[in-house]
A and B are shown apart, each in its own frame.
Chain A
Amino acid sequence: MRDTVMDMIPAQVATSAALLEARNLSFEAGGKRLIDGVSLTIREGSRTLIMGANGAGKSLILRLLHGLLPPSAGQVLWRGATPDHTARRAQSMVFQRPVMLRRSVLANLNFALSMHGIRGAQRATEAGRALDMAGLTDLARHPARVLSGGEQQRLALARALIGQPHLLFLDEPTSSLDPASTQMIESLIDAAHARGVTIVMVTHDMGQARRMGDEVIFLHAGQVAETGPIDQVLSHSRSEAARAWTEGRLYTNSTL
């Protein structure tokens, strides 16, 4: 993958400024409190991993942070203020199971570009860059839905990066991929981070966590059980939940 196509992602000076904050966030559904008083800070330029057992609320917290769901209580702040339309545009998300448009790979990218108001000759140029970045140039005319899992995830990532987001959410982007595809996706994420994109990723893979993250937010039963640098949380856990999970004793969001 050529270095020049990285120009599509804006260079940013990484700072320790708070980019995204959750303040006492809660979410209830079906009479149950699924996220309970979560407060966290995502710093600009960081790579934050959200981890926890099944049912801990990892995907849910991602959706709340990205504004896909309204919280039952608490608030999410973007650069210290209530997120508006421009905040949404500055964020992007790759889902665990991305849904491709029922059209070609190129048409999927073109739609994403059109949603960002990019048309005409510029659209063709940007689409070409995105295809190149994702290694999908030879598959441009293929129906997106017949691509392999890894290829679809590369397309989803290219689509998410098209809007030059400042923050990229990823919900277990490699959970169903083989090692080779996983490695390709991780290198694309690394490249985006190198260009200044802040990363917030859900993963249950400890090896991936060590490769890809700086800080971990460990969730249990909808609450933050522990936060800290990767090595600290995974190797020297201070909370019972994180310790049980890393030792393989905690599989689901059950009572310890």
Chain B
Amino acid sequence: MLRRHLFSLAAGAALALGLAGSAQAQDQFIVVQSTTSTQNSGLFDHILPIFQDKTGIEVRVVAVGTGQAIKNAENGDGDVLFVHAKASEEKFVADGHGLKRSDVMYNDFILVGPPADPAGIAGTKDITAALTKVAETEAPFASRGDDSGTHKAELKLWKDAGVDAAAASGAWYRETGSGMGATLNTGTAMGAYVLTDRATWISFGNKGDYQISVEGDDRLFNQYGIILVNPEKHAGVKAEAGQAFIDWVLSAEGQQAIADYKIDGQQLFFPNAGG
């Protein structure tokens, strides 16, 4: 009986030690729901190792379209949401799925197009005027059409221009339903205009003779936000580690890491936490 008791004690201790070990292992990583364009830009490859070296917390990024990232976070799949669709993010918080939204950084969208410039818009800074001309000339336009942050930004611009581009779906307006790189490949092959984030464009290796048709309109600025998934709604959320990541991203060190990330000497993301 004593042996059984000792065995039970030992087993219990081992179990307790095992559980404690597991808890430590679990705390060493968090899941961030983010977007394909952010992942493809290479930003995470630059900043996440810095955070991990400092805290020991590994950040695993799930990169999907913004709409999908938000849905995943609503379902409790993930600890932090880091996307670029402010209206949707604010709704996410208002619906109780997240605790608080903070601005992190911005990059910009550009409209790229063929050298023939069928819509005659090259060089303008006025994006809604340019899109109106695209619609009037029925020049080909390739959209991501995937509910991503880029797609949502594009739809807003069409709405601001007062143009129902979706009504021309399948005609001059083509929805690829895919990520930025794939949409650029499809768009450039068909001679279409494409709205893309600048980061993806800089690193896109298949530009051919395509050019930037429109840039610099402040309606093309793309604001990123970060949100902790609400642990009261989803018991599995690693609130402490998730908040540690958010605090670091918003800190002077995190913001500097974002600013330091460059491709071909060009800064892609402009930190503006607390701005």
Residue count of chain B within 8 Å CB distance of chain A: 22
Q: Which residues of B contact A145 (CB under 8 A)?
A: 162
Tell me, yes or no, whether A102 is within 8 Å of chain B by CB: yes
Proximity bits, B103-128, A CB within 8 Å = 1, else 0 = 00000000000001110110110101
Q: A70-B116, A102-B161 are in contact. Are A111 and B136 (CB under 8 A)?
A: no
Tell me, yes or no, whether B155 is within 8 Å of chain A by CB: no
Q: Which residues of A contact B117 (CB under 8 A)?
A: 85, 88
Query: In the complex the two chains form, is B124's CB within 8 Å of A114's CB?
Result: yes
Q: Which residue of A lies closest to B138 (CB)?
A: A68
Q: Which residues of B contact A102 (CB under 8 A)?
A: 128, 132, 160-162
Query: In the complex the two chains form, is B129's CB within 8 Å of A101's CB?
Result: yes
Tell me, yes or no, whether A99 is within 8 Å of chain B by CB: yes
Contacting residues of chain A (110-136) with chain B, CB-CB under 8 angstroms: 111, 114-115
Q: Which residues of A contact B121 (CB under 8 A)?
A: 115
Residue among A63, A93, A102, A114 facing the most chain B CB atoms (10 A cut-off): A102
In terms of DSSP, what is the predominant structure of the interface of chain A? Answer: loop
Tell me, yes or no, whether B73 is within 8 Å of chain A by CB: no
Q: A70-B191, A88-B117 are in contact. Are A98 and B136 (CB under 8 A)?
A: yes
| Number of inter-chain CB pairs below 8 Å | 42
Q: Which residue of B lies closest to A85 (CB)?
A: B117
Q: Which residue of B lies closest to A89 (CB)?
A: B120
Q: Which residues of B contact A101 (CB under 8 A)?
A: 128-129, 132, 161
Bound state CA distance, A199 and B235, in angstroms?
72
Query: In the complex the two chains form, is A99's CB within 8 Å of B118's CB?
Result: no
Bound state CA distance, A99 and B162, in angstroms?
10
Name A's B-contacting residues (CB within 8 A).
63, 67-70, 85, 88, 93, 95, 98-102, 111, 114-115, 145
Instruction: Pull 27 A–B residue pairs with CB atoms less than 8 Å apart, ordered by A.
Output: A67-B116, A67-B118, A68-B118, A68-B138, A68-B139, A85-B117, A88-B117, A93-B137, A98-B136, A99-B135, A99-B136, A99-B163, A100-B132, A101-B128, A101-B129, A101-B132, A101-B161, A102-B128, A102-B160, A111-B126, A111-B129, A114-B124, A114-B126, A115-B120, A115-B123, A115-B124, A145-B162
